[in-house]
Protein backbone atom coordinates (compact mmCIF):
# COMPACT_ATOMS: atom_id res chain seq x y z
CA UNK A 1 0.00 0.00 0.00
CA UNK A 2 2.68 2.50 1.09
CA UNK A 3 4.98 1.61 -1.78
CA UNK A 4 2.17 2.08 -4.30
CA UNK A 5 1.16 5.45 -2.86
CA UNK A 6 4.77 6.62 -2.91
CA UNK A 7 4.98 5.54 -6.54
CA UNK A 8 1.78 7.47 -7.23
CA UNK A 9 3.24 10.58 -5.60
CA UNK A 10 6.45 10.22 -7.60
CA UNK A 11 4.47 10.33 -10.85
CA UNK A 12 2.23 13.06 -9.44
CA UNK A 13 5.33 15.17 -8.85
CA UNK A 14 5.95 15.11 -12.60
CA UNK A 15 2.40 16.35 -13.14
CA UNK A 16 2.82 19.10 -10.58
CA UNK A 17 6.09 20.19 -12.14
CA UNK A 18 4.37 20.51 -15.51
CA UNK A 19 1.50 22.48 -13.95
CA UNK A 20 3.88 24.83 -12.16
CA UNK A 21 5.94 25.42 -15.31
CA UNK A 22 2.78 26.45 -17.16
CA UNK A 23 1.44 28.60 -14.32
CA UNK A 24 4.76 30.39 -13.82
CA UNK A 25 5.59 30.78 -17.50
CA UNK A 26 6.23 34.31 -18.70
CA UNK A 27 3.76 33.97 -21.58
CA UNK A 28 0.92 32.99 -19.20
CA UNK A 29 1.72 35.87 -16.85
CA UNK A 30 1.79 38.35 -19.74
CA UNK A 31 -1.46 37.08 -21.25
CA UNK A 32 -3.19 36.92 -17.84
CA UNK A 33 -2.13 40.41 -16.73
CA UNK A 34 -3.27 41.93 -20.03
CA UNK A 35 -6.58 40.06 -19.83
CA UNK A 36 -7.17 41.21 -16.25
CA UNK A 37 -6.47 44.83 -17.18
CA UNK A 38 -8.82 44.74 -20.17
CA UNK A 39 -11.59 43.19 -18.07
CA UNK A 40 -11.26 45.96 -15.47
CA UNK A 41 -10.87 48.86 -17.90
CA UNK A 42 -14.61 49.34 -18.50
CA UNK A 43 -15.24 49.67 -14.76
CA UNK A 44 -12.43 52.19 -14.49
CA UNK A 45 -13.81 54.24 -17.38
CA UNK A 46 -17.28 54.19 -15.85
CA UNK A 47 -15.90 55.45 -12.53
CA UNK A 48 -14.05 58.25 -14.32
CA UNK A 49 -17.17 59.14 -16.31
CA UNK A 50 -19.29 59.37 -13.16
CA UNK A 51 -16.69 61.45 -11.35
CA UNK A 52 -16.21 63.76 -14.33
CA UNK A 53 -19.96 64.26 -14.74
CA UNK A 54 -20.32 65.17 -11.06
CA UNK A 55 -17.41 67.62 -11.20
CA UNK A 56 -18.73 69.33 -14.32
CA UNK A 57 -22.14 69.82 -12.67
CA UNK A 58 -20.43 71.12 -9.55
CA UNK A 59 -18.29 73.48 -11.63
CA UNK A 60 -21.27 74.85 -13.55
CA UNK A 61 -23.28 75.43 -10.37
CA UNK A 62 -20.40 77.18 -8.61
CA UNK A 63 -19.57 79.28 -11.66
CA UNK A 64 -23.21 80.36 -11.93
CA UNK A 65 -23.23 81.36 -8.25
CA UNK A 66 -20.03 83.38 -8.69
CA UNK A 67 -21.63 85.22 -11.59
CA UNK A 68 -24.75 86.01 -9.58
CA UNK A 69 -22.73 87.20 -6.57
CA UNK A 70 -20.53 89.36 -8.80
CA UNK A 71 -23.62 91.07 -10.20
CA UNK A 72 -24.92 91.67 -6.68
CA UNK A 73 -21.59 93.16 -5.68
CA UNK A 74 -21.78 95.62 -8.57
CA UNK A 75 -24.99 97.01 -7.12
CA UNK A 76 -23.11 98.24 -4.08
CA UNK A 77 -20.77 100.34 -6.27
CA UNK A 78 -23.61 102.72 -7.19
CA UNK A 79 -24.93 103.25 -3.67
CA UNK A 80 -24.38 106.73 -2.21
CA UNK A 81 -24.99 107.04 1.49
CA UNK A 82 -24.18 109.79 4.01
CA UNK A 83 -25.37 107.89 7.09
CA UNK A 84 -22.26 106.38 8.69
CA UNK A 85 -24.12 103.44 10.24
CA UNK A 86 -25.84 102.57 6.99
CA UNK A 87 -22.58 102.98 5.11
CA UNK A 88 -20.86 100.60 7.51
CA UNK A 89 -23.65 98.07 6.99
CA UNK A 90 -23.34 98.37 3.20
CA UNK A 91 -19.59 97.90 3.37
CA UNK A 92 -20.09 94.86 5.59
CA UNK A 93 -22.53 93.28 3.13
CA UNK A 94 -20.25 94.06 0.20
CA UNK A 95 -17.33 92.53 2.08
CA UNK A 96 -19.33 89.38 2.78
CA UNK A 97 -20.18 89.07 -0.90
CA UNK A 98 -16.54 89.58 -1.87
CA UNK A 99 -15.47 86.90 0.65
CA UNK A 100 -18.00 84.42 -0.76
CA UNK A 101 -16.84 85.16 -4.31
CA UNK A 102 -13.22 84.64 -3.28
CA UNK A 103 -14.00 81.35 -1.52
CA UNK A 104 -16.02 80.05 -4.47
CA UNK A 105 -13.29 81.10 -6.90
CA UNK A 106 -10.78 79.13 -4.86
CA UNK A 107 -13.11 76.11 -4.91
CA UNK A 108 -13.51 76.49 -8.65
CA UNK A 109 -9.76 76.30 -9.07
CA UNK A 110 -9.70 73.03 -7.06
CA UNK A 111 -12.52 71.55 -9.15
CA UNK A 112 -10.80 72.63 -12.35
CA UNK A 113 -7.57 70.98 -11.21
CA UNK A 114 -9.43 67.75 -10.45
CA UNK A 115 -11.14 67.82 -13.86
CA UNK A 116 -7.73 68.25 -15.53
CA UNK A 117 -6.43 65.34 -13.44
CA UNK A 118 -9.29 63.14 -14.68
CA UNK A 119 -8.55 64.14 -18.27
CA UNK A 120 -4.96 63.00 -17.74
CA UNK A 121 -6.28 59.71 -16.32
CA UNK A 122 -8.41 59.25 -19.44
CA UNK A 123 -5.33 59.77 -21.61
CA UNK A 124 -3.21 57.44 -19.49
CA UNK A 125 -5.93 54.78 -19.50
CA UNK A 126 -6.22 55.00 -23.28
CA UNK A 127 -2.48 54.44 -23.68
CA UNK A 128 -2.44 51.54 -21.20
CA UNK A 129 -5.46 49.95 -22.86
CA UNK A 130 -3.76 50.07 -26.23
CA UNK A 131 -0.63 48.50 -24.73
CA UNK A 132 -2.66 45.80 -22.96
CA UNK A 133 -4.47 44.87 -26.17
CA UNK A 134 -1.17 44.58 -28.02
CA UNK A 135 0.29 42.48 -25.19
CA UNK A 136 -2.76 40.19 -25.13
CA UNK A 137 -2.69 39.69 -28.89
CA UNK A 138 1.02 38.88 -28.74
CA UNK A 139 1.10 36.52 -25.78
CA UNK A 140 -2.24 34.68 -25.90
CA UNK A 141 -1.24 32.56 -28.94
CA UNK A 142 2.12 31.83 -27.31
CA UNK A 143 0.38 30.76 -24.11
CA UNK A 144 -2.11 28.59 -26.01
CA UNK A 145 0.74 26.88 -27.83
CA UNK A 146 2.60 26.23 -24.58
CA UNK A 147 -0.60 25.00 -22.93
CA UNK A 148 -1.23 22.61 -25.79
CA UNK A 149 2.27 21.24 -25.38
CA UNK A 150 1.85 20.88 -21.61
CA UNK A 151 -1.59 19.30 -22.05
CA UNK A 152 -0.02 16.58 -24.16
CA UNK A 153 2.59 15.99 -21.45
CA UNK A 154 0.03 15.93 -18.65
CA UNK A 155 -2.23 13.55 -20.57
CA UNK A 156 0.56 10.97 -20.62
CA UNK A 157 1.34 11.51 -16.94
CA UNK A 158 -2.33 11.20 -16.00
CA UNK A 159 -2.50 7.84 -17.78
CA UNK A 160 0.35 6.59 -15.59
CA UNK A 161 -1.35 8.01 -12.50
CA UNK A 162 -4.60 6.27 -13.36
CA UNK A 163 -2.82 2.92 -13.65
CA UNK A 164 -0.92 3.26 -10.39
CA UNK A 165 -4.01 4.71 -8.70
CA UNK A 166 -5.78 1.40 -9.21
CA UNK A 167 -3.30 -0.22 -6.84
CA UNK A 168 -3.97 2.29 -4.03
CA UNK A 169 -6.95 1.78 -1.68
CA UNK A 170 -9.78 4.08 -2.79
CA UNK A 171 -10.24 5.82 0.56
CA UNK A 172 -6.51 6.50 0.88
CA UNK A 173 -6.27 7.82 -2.68
CA UNK A 174 -9.25 10.14 -2.16
CA UNK A 175 -7.60 11.51 0.96
CA UNK A 176 -4.37 12.07 -0.97
CA UNK A 177 -6.18 13.83 -3.83
CA UNK A 178 -8.06 16.13 -1.45
CA UNK A 179 -4.79 17.25 0.12
CA UNK A 180 -3.28 17.71 -3.33
CA UNK A 181 -6.28 19.91 -4.15
CA UNK A 182 -5.58 21.88 -0.97
CA UNK A 183 -2.11 22.61 -2.41
CA UNK A 184 -0.25 20.36 0.05
CA UNK A 185 2.76 18.82 -1.65
CA UNK A 186 4.43 16.49 -1.18
CA UNK A 187 1.35 14.98 0.40
CA UNK A 188 3.06 11.85 1.74
CA UNK A 189 6.15 12.53 3.84
CA UNK A 190 8.53 10.45 5.90
CA UNK A 191 8.30 11.21 9.62
CA UNK A 192 11.52 11.96 11.53
CA UNK A 193 12.36 10.08 14.68
CA UNK A 194 14.45 11.77 17.35
CA UNK A 195 14.97 10.18 20.79
CA UNK A 196 12.04 7.84 20.33
CA UNK A 197 9.71 10.67 19.35
CA UNK A 198 8.27 11.18 15.87
CA UNK A 199 8.08 14.55 14.16
CA UNK A 200 6.49 15.88 10.99
CA UNK A 201 8.60 17.75 8.45
CA UNK A 202 6.89 20.93 9.66
CA UNK A 203 8.48 20.35 13.09
CA UNK A 204 5.32 19.32 14.92
CA UNK A 205 5.75 16.48 17.40
CA UNK A 206 3.37 13.55 16.92
CA UNK A 207 1.41 11.89 19.74
CA UNK A 208 2.80 8.63 21.03
CA UNK A 209 -0.23 6.81 19.64
CA UNK A 210 0.56 8.08 16.14
CA UNK A 211 4.17 7.02 16.56
CA UNK A 212 2.99 3.52 17.42
CA UNK A 213 0.77 3.48 14.34
CA UNK A 214 3.74 4.57 12.23
CA UNK A 215 5.88 1.79 13.64
CA UNK A 216 3.12 -0.61 12.71
CA UNK A 217 3.36 0.47 9.09
CA UNK A 218 0.28 2.70 9.09
CA UNK A 219 -0.07 6.21 7.69
CA UNK A 220 -1.02 9.08 10.04
CA UNK A 221 -1.82 12.75 9.55
CA UNK A 222 -0.02 15.71 11.08
CA UNK A 223 -2.48 17.71 13.17
CA UNK A 224 -0.69 20.95 12.27
CA UNK A 225 0.06 20.92 8.53
CA UNK A 226 -2.21 17.94 7.64
CA UNK A 227 0.48 16.11 5.68
CA UNK A 228 0.29 12.32 5.51
CA UNK A 229 3.20 10.67 7.31
CA UNK A 230 4.88 7.27 7.25
CA UNK A 231 7.98 5.52 8.53
CA UNK A 232 10.23 3.35 6.41
201 closest CA partner among 177, 178, 170, 222: 222
Q: Which residues pair with 194 in a beta bridge?
A: 197
Quote the pLDDT of residue 78. Answer: 65
**pLDDT over 70 (residue 74):** yes
Give the start-to-end residue ranges of the domains of the chain. Answer: 2-167, 169-232
Altogether, the residues listed in the chain come to a count of: 232
The span from the CA of 70 to the CA of 57, in Å, is: 20
What digits encode the pLDDT tens for the residues 182-210?
Answer: 999 999 999 999 988 999 989 999 999 99
Q: Which residues pair with 190 in a beta bridge?
A: 230
What digits encode the pLDDT tens for the residues 84-140?
Answer: 666 676 678 778 888 888 888 888 999 899 999 999 999 999 999 999 999 999 999
Instruction: List helix spans (H) across the chain.
Output: 2-23, 26-77, 84-165, 170-181, 208-215
Quote the pLDDT of residue 156. Answer: 95
Full-model pTM: 0.66
How far lies 68's CA from each of 100, 139, 226, in Å?
11, 58, 74
Q: What is the CATH number of domain 2-167?
A: 1.10.287.1490
Mean pLDDT of 26-34: 96
Amino acid sequence: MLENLLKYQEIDEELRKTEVELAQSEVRKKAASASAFLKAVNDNVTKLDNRAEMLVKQYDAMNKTVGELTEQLKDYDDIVCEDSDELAYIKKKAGELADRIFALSSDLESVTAEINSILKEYSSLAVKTKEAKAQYVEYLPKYNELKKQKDEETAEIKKKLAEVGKTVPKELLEKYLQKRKDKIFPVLNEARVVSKHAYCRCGTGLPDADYNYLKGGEIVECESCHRMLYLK
